[in-house]
Structure 1
Amino acid sequence: MTQPNDALNAAPDRGRPLRAANAAWIGSALEYYDFFIYGTSAALVFGVVFFPSSDPLLGTLLAIATYGVGYLARPVGALVLGHFGDRFGRKRILLATVLMMGASTFLVGCLPGYAQIGAVAPVLLVFLRLLQGFSAGAEQSGANSISLENAAPNHRAFVTSFTLVGTQAGQILATAVFIPIATLPKDDLYSWGWRIPFWLSAVVVLIAYFIRRGITETPVFETAATTGTLTRAPLKVLFADHWHAVIRVICAALIAAPSTVFTVYALSYAVNQKHLDATTMLVVGVLANVAALVSIPLWARLSDRIGRKPVFIGGSIGIAITMLAYLWAISIGNYPLIFVFGILMFGIVYTATSAVWPAFYGEMFPTSVRLSGTAFGTQIGFAISGFVPTIAAAVAGNSDYAWLIVAGIIAVVVLINIVAVATGRETYRTPMAELGLTKQERALQQVGRRA
């Protein structure tokens, strides 16, 4: 007679992991196209369109702040959508998030500017940004959960890494679309040009929705639902029994800060303070993300062989070093060095952490609270990370040593991440049925096996 744990430990059929990885990849790519196109617009356009001011630095600072506001809604979305994902299934959440993100992004492109409706314009912008953040709160965690729970035991990091490959693809698409837009005359850019990337999201989000309709729930979740091991109050169980893991994920997830600094602050610093060519800086981002498409699966495969922690910690240390070099290259306006260090930092070194965390965080929680645990933990960490560009811009200002100050901020963030990861359990060889269990739950499981 087949026991529930046998079903949990059984390797899934070959088709399900592939379908799950594909749905995670394409959905994440299209969802984060929407999210990153906002970041680019905040750095280059929104300061003029929504926050006109006699002080260009103040307008840019306010525009970048709206990028961070989206991260405030992420933990709320993580709690609400994470609860439903652990209660009723991963698929429903993945469909909901992609539709919410698509609607809010399209409507941003329809907003009149400050010149047309005054202070109402930035208020509506912030509201739609909050809706974007709410949907993003459970997007990656939902995709990671469905991928992790469909993966073979020795390929969990590799399969879940496709979610982050999709994120990089979304950023490539967002940046590539904005490159010709950025070359428009200023009047055209600020009036209608910046809207085009937002309107295009309607097409790509519909594609993601129809792809995700074709996926099924994971064997692990189906087994938990059948055997009655799902809980009616996932959040209560999460914070009562797994709060240590939540805190660990929050601290580890601060590693997203280098990404937000690279995407928003470094771009704004290069264009608005150092007066470097915007198109060239956008190309750096595209090439770095192209490199990431290759490096993420490779780092993930390595972590499936040697463990999550060595790859994660090694990447974190490398980030602190290469971010310093990248910002220095921008400060001196050396384009060849900007390309070299930008691609090295974001396209190769940073991706060591991106490749590992989708599996590593998910492996800290049992099936009954996996989506809510990873969603809430990551989104608190991401929320803090989302404001790092704003903090960096405010602290560094127009100082000649702004690049060094920001690099120091990143070094502190990286240190926190390293401590969190180093003190966690190594999980790459832990069976699916035993992931995230408390000592009491493991003891009960062993009793059940003996019986």
Structure 2
Amino acid sequence: MASPTPPAQPSRKSIFLASFVGTSIEWYDYYIFGTAAALAFGSLFFPEFSSVAGTLAAFATFAVGFVARPLGAAIIGHFGDRIGRKAMLVLTLLLTGGATFLIGVLPTYAAIGVAAPLLLVVLRLVQGFGVGGEWGGAILIATEHASPRRLAVYGSFAQFGVPIGVLTSNLAFLAVAGLSDADFMAYGWRIPFLISAVLVVVGFVARSRLHDAPEFRKMKQDRSLSRIPAAELFRRRPRNLVLASLASIAPPAVGYTVIVYMLTYGTTVAGFERATLLTLILASTVVWIATIVVSAVASDRFGSKKVYILGTLTAVVWPVPMFALVDTGSTGAALLAFTVAAIVQGIMAGAQGGLFTEIFEVRVRYSGISIAYQLGGMIGGAVTPIAATALYDAYDSSMAVAGYVAALSLISFVAVLGVRRIGELPSPQDAPAAAKPGRTAAAESQ
């Protein structure tokens, strides 16, 4: 019997769309929750608390999603390494998008009492579970179709989804920012959540047209897939898994400080209008996107690890001057603060996809990069807004917050120094040889 004809190699454009569009939607969903947590959820779902306690409770609900992310990374990563990347990418899109839409129609505490925050937490857990497997799949659907010389560039496709998600979520909230406070609290905050239903359809169409890369299909055909990828990772690659997790702390630590915490700090402490802050963050995403491009190209030329090290070093240095600029209350100074923060994030984002693809074998790669990314995200993203709020309340100084973010970034800087690529690692004795990252179908046939 003749073997089935393999699917045609997808174009670079279709790979970009499937990786980028879905990730944009996932992060749109995630960031509108963070924005709503900063602006509305405290009084709508936790009205019995004081102002500070209500904000902390809203951020805690935001953090709950991060708790679900490592679980989602492990489970979705398992099936991504066993069944395929494409199937899991469609699943993550539906989980996150569906939960986001339901948050948009969720009754508040005033309507159904304590059931409102409980349901919000449940939907947040579903949302976090879906996001847990999103980034890894989006990275791999691109990098595993790439040649070795373009690994970081292809790995950056999914990374564009982060600033685009910020861009579209801020646009959505800017569209309702002109409403009165009463109207915003009554229905305005719901609109960005409801819009996500349309975006999910776009992402579903883009991803349903793709297929898994040749190297994964070959492993499936050879029946050399890992039985339990997560267990193999902890047994065979614990060093890289731990270091990659620690290296993943800095990007969300910087990102969520700007995108989530600054919305509260900037309005309540620094004296900015809500619409002004949203506009400044929106403007900085243009620089963020451009920096990802430059960083990805530089990573393919000089090495992803070197560029990522540079990015984490800038993340250590920038928090203190960033808060000092925001504390001036000047719009121009705040724009500079957010613009440089966008450059810091862009440097790390452009290198991270290529770097993480290089440090895990294909048979455990979905699980490896997903678990590492989400563990780092839980530490750098979930805890940061809560810790920042508590630190400022305790010390009445933004420098305490800046020092905390710099310390988290320092952990990532030290960790990435010790990360090693697949070729630098000993091969597991009882595991089949893994294909190198970025092998093309042509290379496999030689």
TM-score greater than 0.5 by the shorter chain: yes
> 1:232 aligned to 2:227?
yes
> Structure 2: how far apart are the matches of 1:61 and 1:215?
41
> Structure 2: how far apart are the matches of 1:338 and 1:233?
48
> Structure 1: how far apart are the matches of 2:195 and 2:83?
32
Kindly indicate whether the alpha-carbon contact (under 8 Å) linking 1:365 and 1:436 is maintained by their aligned counterparts in 2: no
Alignment correspondent of 1:271: 267
Kindly indicate whether the alpha-carbon contact (under 8 Å) linking 1:248 and 1:420 is maintained by their aligned counterparts in 2: yes
Alignment correspondent of 1:27: 22
Report the 3-state secondary structure (helix = DSSP H, G, I; strand = E; otherwise coil) of the residue aligned with 1:52. Answer: coil
Cα deviation code 1:200-225 (max 9, x no counterpart) = 00000111011100001111101111
Alignment correspondent of 2:366: 371
Q: Which amino acid aligns with 1:37?
A: I
Kindly indicate whether the alpha-carbon contact (under 8 Å) linking 2:319 and 2:403 is maintained by their aligned counterparts in 1: no
Kindly indicate whether the alpha-carbon contact (under 8 Å) linking 1:141 and 1:371 is maintained by their aligned counterparts in 2: yes
Which TM-score applies when normalising by structure 2? 0.92
Q: What percent of counterpart residues are identical? A: 34
* Residue pairs, 1:187-198, within 5 angstroms: 187-198=182-193
> 1:327 aligned to 2:323?
yes
> Structure 2: how far apart are the matches of 1:376 and 1:398?
33
Aligned length: 427
Give the gaps of 5 or more residues in structure 1: 1-11, 447-451
Backbone CA RMSD of aligned residues: 2.0
**Alpha-carbon spacing, 1:300–1:441, altered in 2? closer, same or farther (3 Å):** farther
Q: Kindly state the Cα deviation for residue 115 of structure 1 after the two structures are TM-superposed.
A: 0.9
Q: Kindly state the Cα deviation for residue 179 of structure 1 after the two structures are TM-superposed.
A: 0.9
Alignment correspondent of 1:85: 80
Q: Which amino acid aligns with 1:240?
A: R
Alignment correspondent of 2:176: 181
Q: Which amino acid aligns with 1:314?
A: L
Alignment correspondent of 1:438: 427
Q: Point out the more displaced range, 371-380 or 232-241.
A: 232-241
Give the gaps of 5 or more residues in structure 2: 1-6, 436-446
Cα deviation code 1:318-340 (max 9, x no counterpart) = 12322222211222212111001
Q: Which amino acid aligns with 1:207?
A: V
Q: Kindly state the Cα deviation for residue 21 of structure 1 after the two structures are TM-superposed.
A: 2.3
> Structure 2: how far apart are the matches of 1:299 and 1:129?
32
* Residue pairs, 1:7-406, within 5 angstroms: 15-53=10-48, 55-255=50-250, 256-346=252-342, 348-385=343-380, 386-397=382-393, 399-401=395-397, 403-406=398-401
Kindly indicate whether the alpha-carbon contact (under 8 Å) linking 2:26 and 2:97 is maintained by their aligned counterparts in 1: yes
Alignment correspondent of 1:413: 408
**Alpha-carbon spacing, 1:14–1:301, altered in 2? closer, same or farther (3 Å):** farther
**Alpha-carbon spacing, 1:14–1:233, altered in 2? closer, same or farther (3 Å):** closer
Alignment correspondent of 1:3: none
Runs of 4+ in 1 over 3 A off after TM superposition: 12-18, 434-437, 439-446
**Alpha-carbon spacing, 1:442–1:226, altered in 2? closer, same or farther (3 Å):** closer
Alignment correspondent of 2:438: none
Kindly indicate whether the alpha-carbon contact (under 8 Å) linking 1:77 and 1:136 is maintained by their aligned counterparts in 2: yes
**Alpha-carbon spacing, 1:398–1:175, altered in 2? closer, same or farther (3 Å):** farther
Cα deviation code 1:84-106 (max 9, x no counterpart) = 00000000000000001111000
Cα deviation code 1:21-78 (max 9, x no counterpart) = 2200011111111111101101111111111146212111111111111100001101
Cα deviation code 1:214-259 (max 9, x no counterpart) = 0011111011111221122222212111111110111001112111
**Alpha-carbon spacing, 1:68–1:250, altered in 2? closer, same or farther (3 Å):** same
Q: Kindly state the Cα deviation for residue 18 of structure 1 after the two structures are TM-superposed.
A: 3.6
**Alpha-carbon spacing, 1:312–1:120, altered in 2? closer, same or farther (3 Å):** same
Kindly indicate whether the alpha-carbon contact (under 8 Å) linking 1:105 and 1:198 is maintained by their aligned counterparts in 2: yes
Kindly indicate whether the alpha-carbon contact (under 8 Å) linking 2:132 and 2:374 is maintained by their aligned counterparts in 1: yes
> Structure 1: how far apart are the matches of 2:283 and 2:9?
32
Q: Kindly state the Cα deviation for residue 442 of structure 1 after the two structures are TM-superposed.
A: 10
> Structure 2: how far apart are the matches of 1:377 and 1:105?
25
Which TM-score applies when normalising by structure 1? 0.91
Q: Which amino acid aligns with 2:25?
A: L
